[in-house]
Amino acid sequence: MFKINKLRDDETIAFAADELKKYLWMMMPDTDDISISLTPDAKDGFRLGLLEDFGLDSEAKDPVWDDVVHIDTTETGGILAGSNPRSVLFAVYRFLKLNGCRWLFPGLDGEYISRQPITAQKYHKLADHCIRGFMVEGTPGAEHVLDYIDYHAKQEMNLFSPDDIKIYMRRYYEHQNNTMNRHMEPLPTEQYNQWWAMFEAEALKRGLLLKKGGHSRIPAAIGLDPFAYEEYRSGKKPVPEEARQYLALINGERKLYSYNGGGSIFFTNLCLSNPEARRLFVKSTADHLEKNPRLCMNTVGFADGHHNHCECEECRKLHPADFQIMIANELDEELTRRGIKTKVALSTYVDLMFPPIREKIKNPDRFFIQFAPISRSYTSSITEDTVIPEPLQYKARNVWDAPKGIEECVALLQARRAQVNVPCYAYEYHFWRPQMRDPALMAISRRLYEDVRSLKLLDIQGYQQDGSNRHFFPHGFHHFIHAETLVNRECDYEEMKADYFSHLYGEDWKQVVQYLQGISDAFGEKYMHGEDSIDPARGTHYNPARAKELMKVEELSAVARELADTHREMPHRVQSLAYRLLERHAEYCQKLAPVFIAKCQGYDKRAVELMDAFIADFGRHDYELERWLDFGLATRMLRVAAKQMPEIEF
């Protein structure tokens, strides 16, 4: 019989004890009853508590953000401790990992639970990066988000941000990119609000930090309904005249900014030289934070998109970043007046990458810099040998060149950081468009590893990723290596690859990895990112020589189908699932390759026709695969690549 003793009364530590009990029973089903009790002075059994409860020192500079995990156990019990309650939960999961358990996908089907007695373990680690977060975008359903929150904690990620999630969930339930195969399922706003409360409850039960502050803050500030995004865009819902005065003046008009047809409230900025517009933004944000004291951080950013800032005479006098700092100082004063201590992140997103020319932060203790290099290339990483160029110059209001290389993005970040000494983390997009442009996810997995390792070189304290929480097709190694490297920068890529895939595919994992690497190589990292065209005037994906490589996909797919056919009965459910996904993945790649064979040969119209046919055909599997394939986001991203583009969109 095992005893689990909680050394203090805490919701997250109680959850950690329940998780330990559950998985011990799963590992050893014949074990006698496992007891859980609140015993602050316990000396035996598994003891769960904070480091201080055991008289242990902590390297954590800030116990809210820093996660220290300490494990010192025998075959029958021992210490599972952390620098905060969340870290105690992480200690339980790390202990189980050391005893052979893995969480390879979100959900019960993604669990690899070893069937063996536990062994003694010793482990002590301060996570190398204190910000390890994810912002849900893509097209998530409620159950997908719940599964991901559970998975997120099991990967020892500490920050969760379902910002603007109602907009993205609406895309899923209305199946906006696959209406030919799935009927729309419209839901009322109240349903999404209920689910939001559920997501918060599940995240907080695990001790996760919560963050908000997306593009919806702009329309919300002037009384527009962010959830009515489509209604404003289609013109079914007009902008009230009293709100129009606060909209950015662009091309002589104050109206919703037109992006890909129709006015978008998410792509529309405010006239920020107008003190009343700033006051409304500050009040709306402060009210929101006062009503949501559970939030640890809020972002001050502006509208989505770029080159869409107000062109009135007063706004032209300063850079967008000047108005961001102006608002940040005004918000800090209001939050201080209300006694709200929530941290504020200053996003360096598109126009805001360029530093201010006049304004300065008054209270650095309130702020983080959020480095958001959305226009960067995802085909290279910063290394010790990287030479950072002089920063690009802001030419004029809505007239500037987007930095394409990560080096150019870092140059602009350094220019902004030179003006204010505050901590910095990166808000990144590997799990958005880049992962969808790598059908086998091997190139993006390597890029994630190298990019995380570069953070220390740049004095960046971690990542918050923006992207799909449910794209694990056909595997989740990119999530696995991302999370593990954020905890331990010195982990070895090849060792982690062997660990993940051997658990996922069993003894023949190397054959599967050979197939996956072959697919990534055939589509090509640079080619799929539009960086390998031999004639950009003909499009970002014009390169006839690539056709020979893409034609290899047919043979590779046959190999994957054979592997799937000979591995239908595996010792673990997750392995049987993995081979079933591999079979569907072979079909996915086989049908996607002709799109890019046509594209690279310059047959742009044919490529678009083939892409439409691919979506209609493979979309028949959407319901079957929806827990692991974000078909909605994948097809949105791939459509962009299939179209004729004179330059990379971002």
The Cα angle at residue 35 between residues 31 and 39, in degrees rounded to 5 = 145
CA contacts within 13 A on the Cβ side of 136: 30
pLDDT at 645 over 60: no
Q: How far apart are CA 245 and CA 521, in angstroms?
A: 52
- Tokens found for residue 339: 């006694």
CA contacts within 13 A on the Cβ side of 558: 4
CB under 8 Å to 355, separation ≥6 — which residues?
A: 319, 321, 391, 412, 415, 416, 418, 419
- The answer to whether the CB of 533 falls within 8 A of the CB of 453 is no
Nearest to 83 by CA among 61, 55, 58: 58
- The answer to whether the CB of 177 falls within 8 A of the CB of 632 is yes
Q: How far is CA 435 from CA 403, 466, 633, in A?
A: 20, 11, 10
Q: How far apart are CA 177 and CA 374, in angstroms?
A: 23
pLDDT at 647 over 50: no
Q: How far apart are CA 469 and CA 478, in angstroms?
A: 12
Task: Find the helix or strand (DSSP H, E) in which 73 lies.
Answer: strand 68-73
| Residue 449 backbone phi and psi in degrees, to 5 | -60, -45
- Looking up tokens 């799990």, which residue turns up? 431
Q: How far apart are CA 650 and CA 306, in angstroms?
A: 9
pLDDT, the chain, mean: 95
- The answer to whether the CB of 399 falls within 8 A of the CB of 388 is no
Superfamily assignment of 3-126 in CATH?
Chitobiase/beta-hexosaminidase domain 2-like (3.30.379.10)
Domain ranges of the chain: 3-126, 131-213+274-303+330-499, 504-642
- The answer to whether the CB of 557 falls within 8 A of the CB of 512 is no
pLDDT in tens, 416-451: 999 998 999 999 999 999 999 999 999 999 999 999
- The answer to whether the CB of 64 falls within 8 A of the CB of 51 is no
- Tokens found for residue 524: 């090509």
Q: How far apart are CA 361 and CA 144, in angstroms?
A: 40
Nearest to 558 by CA among 595, 528, 598, 585: 585
**For residue 262, what pLDDT is reported?**
74
- The answer to whether the CB of 619 falls within 8 A of the CB of 180 is yes
pLDDT in tens, 58-100: 999 999 999 999 999 999 999 999 999 999 999 999 999 999 9
The one-letter amino acid code at 152 reads H
Neighbours of 338 (CB within 10 A): 12
Is 82 strand, coil or helix? strand
Q: Which fold has domain 131-213+274-303+330-499?
A: TIM Barrel (3.20.20)
Q: How far apart are CA 388 and CA 378, in angstroms?
A: 17
pLDDT in tens, 500-559: 999 999 999 999 999 999 999 999 999 999 999 999 989 899 999 999 999 999 999 999
pLDDT at 648 over 70: no
**For residue 646, what pLDDT is reported?**
45
Beta-strand pair 3-6/78-82: unpaired
- Tokens found for residue 627: 């827990």
Is 63 or 485 the better-scoring residue by pLDDT? 485
Neighbours of 552 (CB within 10 A): 15
| H helices present in 108-224, as ranges | 142-154, 165-173, 189-205, 217-221
Give me the residues paired with residue 161 across strands.
135
Q: How far apart are CA 246 and CA 221, in angstroms?
A: 10
pLDDT at 341 over 80: yes
* Among 203-207, 258-262, 409-413, 482-486, the least confident range: 258-262
Q: How many residues does the chain have?
A: 650
pLDDT in tens, 286-318: 999 999 999 999 999 999 999 999 999 999 999
| Stretch 474-493: mean pLDDT | 98
Q: How far apart are CA 239 and CA 272, in angstroms?
A: 18
**For residue 470, what pLDDT is reported?**
94
Is 342 strand, coil or helix? coil
pLDDT in tens, 580-617: 999 999 999 999 999 999 999 999 999 999 999 999 99
284 by Cβ neighbours in 10 Å (0-12 / 13-18 / 19+) ranks as middle
